[in-house]
A and B are shown apart, each in its own frame.
Chain A
Amino acid sequence: MTAMTTMTERPQRDGSRAPSVVLRVEDLTVEVRTEQGTLTLIEGVDLTVRSDEIVGLVGESGSGKTVTSLATMGLLPRNARVSRGRIEVAGQEITGLPERRLADVRGVRAAMIFQEPRRCLNPAFTVGDQVAEAIRRHRGWSRKRAMAHTVDLFGLVEIPDPERRVRQYPHEFSGGMCQRVMLAMALACDPQLLIADEPTTALDVTVQRQVLELIRRLQAELGIGVLLITHDLGVVAEMCDRVSVMYAGQVVEEADADSLFHSPKNPYTSALLQSILEPTRHGEALTYIPGRVPPPHLFPATCRFQERCGFAVDEVCGQVVDLQPVAAGHSSRCARVHDLELAGVSE
């Protein structure tokens, strides 16, 4: 009921409008200054998210997923900077914007939710205040009007008893409920892009499912593009229309979800898919990728996955490889892309 009334107040951005590109990242390269010198954390990342889709950004820890998302929001730590490439959020170029101008974009064009929702809410203020202040900041509404809208938003993200809940503090909320508050906050000013960085990793399995369902429903109803960052391929399979796989700071494969899962074109993706734990394969030996993602100062100049790759052939692989198209909407970064038959998920 509350959700319905909220909907009528919102600009109509559902199926009736043609989908637009809400995030365009081109050749994004981020450097960080450290004691060991300047390191390149991510290099040449391309990403596109449209208003009618959920795009997955997948990779192990250290692959550069979070750096990519923080750069997109202009939230990189002080010692990191975008050294090359451009980021366009809902038609607005944000690379090179000063902090003041960036703050006008955040929360309005793009909003973000994070891992560990309980730590992301300020323990010293009521949850209602924390959502309402975003509205007051960007829309200049009165405290009362912003709070009334916050109650509506709580209804939208399915928080029961919203009138009472807005006056409570984060410690009175469960993890799942905190993530709903974060979602309400993110949606407060009708952003066109939602970045969700591991939104369910810290939550219980059952709660995880509820929050993911909610994100999917909101995406479809409100027509917002979602960039879903996760290391969980199960989540990707259920949620995403398209997927970009990152490894060691580069995108190594990009495809629609179906193609990626059934006919991966990059050995790394294939290996990731093989390491999904499936209850039906009970009793078989566990498959995993040996070794770990190299730290940024040890990124090789050539193929970064080569040393862990089961398909590496020295004569072919010891060179720089680019992301190259292999089919419509499907690209892979692998020197052997044309002569490999890689396994996808088992049916």
Chain B
Amino acid sequence: MIRFVGYRLLLAVPTIVLVTFLVFALMALSPADPAVAIAGDDATPEQLAQVRHDLGLDDPFLIRYADWGWQALQGNLGVSPVTHQSVLSDLQFRLPITLSLLLLALVFSIVIGVLLGTLAALNRGGVIDWVANGVTNLLMAVPPFVAATLLVLMLAVARPLFPATGYATVTAGVGPYLTYMTLPALALAVIPAALLMRQVRGALIDAMEEDYVRTARAKGLRTWTVVGKHAAKNAAIPVVTVLGLLIAQMLGGAVVVEKIFAIPGLGSASVESVLTGDLVTLQGLVLVVALVVIVVNLLVDASYGYFNPKLRTR
């Protein structure tokens, strides 16, 4: 297991290098000029050249990337030319907020998706299955920004049950956390919950038709044990795979949702840094998001060994 994790972490290194390099290259090619952003539109060419020189922007591209990478390795992600703040401390402030949002969204999608998916699978062809399928079909067509707006209108404006904006992290305590994060997390969870329900339903139906489920019933196990133990552990693999992809997708959804609910997380930061041409912050953001996705994938892969013992021997 330790060897497996070590090996996977080693594999993650080229991934991170590639991702950050690509983003670095894209930004080098983009017309956005941080020097203009800093010096202002009416700066003289000399002033611009001076700013470029100060930022190291007149160095060759590869040197600039190597320099950034070397600094990043030492924990220095640079200083934002826009806010003049350390990018690292900015990210340290924002990451827990976004992770708190993702966590609650994940809990919502899993609870809703697994519950509906299981009910639908066990009542295949029945009324519950039919209704659950219809509801998820509908939900899959609701993007986060629509869901967010509707939720705010219904549960914050029409009936002020939740605040329309603001945030709280997990560490703020359960009460404030749920008060502030429920609406944005729900908005973020709509599509993942629907996709997860589909996946759970399909995987469980497949598993329930396996011979070992018949064996489990033949030895007189209760229906709950047959489904919750024997079928579930085998159905988990495709579900966890999709879950990993959904977390990455939710990170993307967080950009919009954080903006709508005025949550100062990674999503808001990426919008702001793009709008202000703050390439240093953006590069730091990309690094953090890449790391989160890599960790999620690692956890997903590690879980396969738990769900399928056959994979452990390798």
Contact = CB atoms under 8 A, between A and B. Distances in A.
- The yes or no verdict on A and B being binding partners is yes
Interface of A: 73, 75, 99-100, 103-108, 111-112, 114, 116, 119-126, 130, 133-134, 137-138, 169, 171, 182, 185-186, 188
Contacts of B212: 119-123
B223 interface: yes
A103 B222 contact: yes
The interface residues of chain B, by DSSP majority, are classed as helix
A123 B230 contact: no
Contacts of A112: 218
A70 to B, nearest CB: 9
B8 interface: no
Contacts of B308: 123-124
Given A124-B234, A171-B310, A119 B220 contact: no
Contact of B230 (A103, A116, A122, A126): A122
B214 A75 contact: yes
B211 interface: yes
Given A111-B218, A169-B309, 13 more contacts: A73-B218, A75-B214, A103-B221, A103-B222, A107-B218, A112-B218, A120-B212, A120-B214, A122-B215, A122-B233, A123-B212, A123-B308, A185-B215
Contacts, number: 81
Given A122-B234, A123-B308, A75 B218 contact: yes
B219 A119 contact: no
B58 interface: no
Given A122-B230, A124-B308, A171-B309, A75 B210 contact: no
Nearest to B310: A171
Among A112, A123, A188, chain B packs the most CB atoms within 10 A around the CB of: A123
Contact of B211 (A73, A116, A137, A138): A116
A185 B216 contact: no
Contact of B219 (A100, A107, A116): A107
Contacts of B230: 122, 124-125
Contacts of A124: 230, 233-234, 307-309
B221 A120 contact: no
Contacts of A103: 217, 220-223
A106 B217 contact: yes
B110 to A, nearest CB: 20
